[in-house]
Structure 1
């Protein structure tokens, strides 16, 4: 009986050893699979890290471009403001020139009317003097 007991124990131990070996094999396979997954994850992380760096560089470049665009916008806005002010001054100067030119035109027209009236008066006076002279010459015994 003792032999049977020992044989049974040996069988149990052998069976337990086989189970342990199977578990070790399964664990080794699991470890291998996990190591493979770790390598894959590292590759993904490396790619992800590179993508993040690329995105950060792109963001920095876009921020620089935005800054430059903002500076250009300020310059152009200032130019537009200056040109609007210059245009406003030009319009005001032009309006002043038009008013002055109109005043000069009105004065010239008034002076022209006065000169025409004086000319007419002088022509009338000259005609009267000519008539008087002719009348005097016709009467005079020269």
Structure 2
């Protein structure tokens, strides 16, 4: 849900005051953008389902994220990687922080995990 003038925090506060938090999951996604899901459903829900289908454990999973709506996913995975330009709460919760998205942060994070060779940095 997006609002043209309210911040995400203000939008969540107003939706909560109106009683929606009792039956919806309201999560900060980006500035002036809130994820709205059924209560108990978030990004971790999809991760757990995918892991079950693949026969893998949460400890084997790695989550990448940048905004507070990624925190449930971080909590259910063995390792978590915050993008360098991510929200402070996400960087604080992560196993480690990689470069920004614009600076090949995803590839750098995969390299830090030993999954691919270190990518070359783009010329400035």
**Shared topology, TM-score over 0.5?**
no
Flag the structure with more relative contact order, 1 or 2, with Cα contacts below 8 A and sequence separation at least 6. 2
**Looking at CA atoms only, which structure, 1 or 2, has the larger radius of gyration?**
1
TM, length-normalised to structure 1: 0.16
Q: Which structure carries more strand by proportion?
A: 2
Write 1 or 2 for the structure with the bigger share of helix.
1
TM-score, normalised relative to structure 2: 0.17
